[in-house]
A = this chain, B = another copy of it.
């Protein structure tokens, strides 16, 4: 409504830049609580997505297995979560957040969200709705694209259209 429907490439460029600049700003807040963006995101998957395996976490975070392994090593060392071997299939490991992890996540969320929310406070309801709708749209698009990307490992751009 605010724009006369620009072409997809234009929108893509703007959205990309906006995402970069937003995250640069929010990263500072994340560090204030001692939880990096990557840890925060992983922890929220574990906390809200219930117990989860390492492979599933890697998928959810769209990163490689080794990346998750190392991320978890640090997080377990810091007491944010713990690994548990599955009784039936002893290859798989279940991740569960510790109370400390859950608490830190909430606190980090609160703080990080407070920073952005303070920025958003000046907006009128229509603008808030705009952002919420856009965020939801982006999540859906990324999720769909990731699914398509799995069957076609490289060059996922060509698969649609």
A residues sitting closer than 8 Å to B (CB atoms) are: 1-26, 28-29, 32, 37, 41, 44, 61-63, 109, 111-123, 125-139, 141-146, 149, 154-161
Contact = CB atoms under 8 A, between A and B. Distances in A.
A81 to B, nearest CB: 19
A141 to B, nearest CB: 5
Given A14-B131, A24-B61, A119-B145, 19 more contacts: A3-B133, A5-B125, A5-B129, A8-B123, A9-B114, A11-B120, A11-B132, A13-B109, A15-B135, A16-B112, A17-B135, A19-B22, A24-B62, A25-B142, A29-B157, A118-B159, A119-B144, A120-B141, A122-B160
B146 A25 contact: yes
**3 nearest CB pairs, A to B:** A134-B134, A12-B116, A5-B125
A76 B28 CA distance: 28
A63 to B, nearest CB: 7
A66 to B, nearest CB: 16
A131 B142 contact: no
Contact of A139 (B4, B18, B26): B18
A4 to B, nearest CB: 7
A8 B121 contact: yes
Contact of A118 (B114, B136, B160): B160
Contact of A158 (B13, B63, B118, B120): B118
A9 to B, nearest CB: 5
